Amino acid sequence: MPALGADMDEGTVLEWLVKPGDEVHKGDIIAVIDTAKSAIDVESFFTGTVERLVTDVGQTVPVGTVLATITESRAQPAAPPAEPKGPERPTAPQPPGPPAGLEVPERPRPATLRKREKKIVAAEQAPPAVTISPLIRKRAHELGVDLAKLRGSGRGGAVTRADVERAAAERQREVALKPPSPAVSRIRVTPLARRVAAELGVDLAGVTGTGPGGAVSEADVRRAAALVPEAAPAPEAAQRPAAAAAARSGVERALSMRQAIGRLMARSKREIPHYYVSNTVDMTRSLDWLHERNRELEVSERLVPAALLLKAAALAARKIPDLNGYWLDDQFSPADAVHLGLVISLRGGGLLTPAIHDAADLRLAELMSRMRDLVIRARAGRLRGSELTDATITVTNLGDQGVESVFGVIYPPQVALAGFGKVTERPVAVGGLIGVRPVVVTTLAADHRASDAMTGARYLTEISDLLQRPEEL
Amino acid sequence: MTPDQAQHAIEEALAQVAPDVDIADLTPDTDLRDGLGLDSLDFLRFVEILSERSGKQIAEDDYPHLATPASAAKFLAGR
């Protein structure tokens, strides 16, 4: 049971999306776990074959309990023994790791593979060990590329971003070329189809896929379910345990949500010496630019001011790294990417704070669509585990609720939380004259153990500067 | 769009954007953003759905017309 956020002590298995014998890849959704706050899609930390499902549907177990055993595949020996990523765990988010590069030792390979590869290695004169930067490692992780099997084309055999992306593309091609033979190869199933299959109790191995590359689609699953209505009286029966487990009533959910928030926020205020700074930012340029841009666009492509604010918050966090990371083991460990946690209030009460990965690198349109996607999935209980554990700094935007400013409570073990209030028109003195301009109050709550108010001030100044140059965001 | 169609489209859009809101509680003059607590993303989706249903281009400058169910219906029905 992974810790899906610092506020989680236990979880309930709502649904298994795999069964013993299934092949899984790192990052595949394998189970749905119910936490105090929400149902969450949990990804596999390994590539391999599911050996056994240890925890049954409906069982509630503490964080750290074994949920299932997965045998890592031989052909891919390098999938590192990834610990579930959770800020609470000692091994978790990017340990203060080596600053420049990392030596990857050669890993044992099956004999047959090794022989073949030896020839290639000899022919290409690859060095014995390669240097891989943290960024590249991260990219490889995202794309599910096995670094140990990569030969770098960079200087001194260094693995470059291009190498990783090429390998990912090749792997995809291989998968696409494979004939759909469920017995041998992994059945390709869309996530939605998998979910529906689990709901209807349909065995995916018996479903013929009609999607691209033989992938099983939701329609295929429904068709298969309709074919065996009499023979399998199971739909209801199969559904029952999941339904029972899911039957956390609205009242219970509201209570457990409040308790989870309460525990985490109490811990934050108990342990973290918060300091606060605030600033008032002129939004004239940003809003004019936004308005001009939106004028030419379809509704679905329009940006809201929050997108600019989030992008500025992410870029500023990259510029001021002392606020972007975790306080662990009595010291600050900076994160090597900016994963922007976004406070999303649920319509029924309570909140979730999923992360927008690599927010500082996203174009505004992309950031906007991620934001919309996260809000929809957060409210539907469809967030992924990694989204709830990866945030390196959090932003709360209360502008839509009409308040002028918000001073937040930091999410441990993060060290900073930025807040945005409502964009309002105010009399502002500019160049000795008073005019009416749209302004927004930006705030920062930060951990005094990790930084001083001077750092916080620089962060808010940076945000203000960025918002004066919206075209560069 | 006839006023009836417009009314219907608004109710459907709200049902999607704010499923927890009971349409029966809605008065023609309820402020959608403040009264129903729609945030800017919810509102954008609301506009998106209305634009799709009515086939009408809705510019940002038109947003004030969509403040309440009554004003929105009037706007969609072509004023």
Residue in A339, A286, B33 with CA at minimum distance from that of residue B14: B33
User: In this predicted model, which residue has the larger pLDDT, A47 or A7?
Assistant: A47
Cis peptide before A413 (omega within 30 of 0): yes
Q: What is the pLDDT of residues A359-372, one digit of tens each?
A: 999 999 999 999 99
Q: What is the ipTM of this complex?
A: 0.80
Is the pLDDT higher at A293 or at A139? A293
Q: For all residues of chain A together, what is the average pLDDT?
A: 78
Coil, helix or strand for A232? coil
**pLDDT tens string A94-115:** 434 333 333 333 334 344 434 3
Most B CBs within 10 Å, among A287, A295, A299, A300, to test the B interface: A299
pLDDT band for position A117 (cuts 50, 70, 90): very low
A238 interface with B at CB cutoff 8 Å: no
Total domain count, chain B: 1
Boundaries of domain holding B49: 3-76
Residue A130 pLDDT exceeds 70: no
If we measure between CA atoms, which residue out of A373, A375, A383, A339 comes closest to residue A357?
Answer: A339
Q: Say if residue A293's pLDDT is above 70.
A: yes
Contacts of residue B43, defined as CB under 8 A and 6 or more positions apart, other chains included, come to B17, B32, B33, B63, B66
Question: Which among B37, B41, B51 is the nearest to A371, CB-wise?
Answer: B41
pLDDT in tens, A414-430: 999 999 999 999 999 98
> Residue B70's domain is classified under what CATH number?
1.10.1200.10
Judged by average pLDDT, the poorest of A30-39, A41-50, A157-166, A314-323 is A157-166
CA dihedral for A388, A390, A395, A399, sign (positive or negative):
negative
Query: Which pTM value belongs to this model?
Result: 0.65
**CB half-sphere exposure, A173, CA atoms < 13 A:** 6
Structure tokens belonging to residue B13: 């859009």
pLDDT at A203: 73
What's the 3-state SS for A337-361?
A: CCCEEECEECCCCCEECCEECCHHH
pLDDT, residue A111, reads 40
Confidence class for position A126, pLDDT limits 50, 70, 90 = very low
Name the minimum distance, in Å, from the CA of B4 to any CA of chain A. Answer: 24
- Nearest by CB to B20, which of A306, A347, A375? A347
Query: Which residues of chain A neighbour B56 with C-beta distances below 8 Å?
Result: none
Q: What is the pLDDT of residues A337-355, one digit of tens each?
A: 999 999 998 877 888 999 9
Which chain B residues are within 8 Å of A399, Cβ to Cβ? Answer: 40
Closest residue by Cα to residue A187 from A215, A227, A154, A157: A215
* A contacts of B39 (beta carbons < 8 Å): 400-401
Report the pLDDT averaged over residues A198-211.
70
Residue that is written with structure tokens 């996203």 in the block:
A362
SS3 B73: helix
CB contact under 8 A, B40 and A295: no
Q: Domains in chain A, start-ordered, CATH in brackets?
A: 191-246 (no CATH), 252-472 (3.30.559.10)
The residue that leads in pLDDT, A116 or A217, is A217
User: A399 and B51 in contact by Cβ < 8 A?
Assistant: no
CA–CA separation, A189 vs A183, rounded Å? 14
Mean pLDDT throughout A156-172? 72
Ranges of residues in chain B whose predicted pLDDT is under 70 = 79
- Looking at the complex, report in whole angstroms how far the Cα of residue A366 sits from the nearest Cα belonging to chain B: 14
Contact A372 B45 (CB under 8 A): yes
Question: Does residue A443 have a pLDDT over 90?
Answer: yes
Q: Tell me if B44 and A305 make a contact (CB, 8 A cut-off).
A: no
A400 Cβ under 8 Å from any chain B Cβ: yes
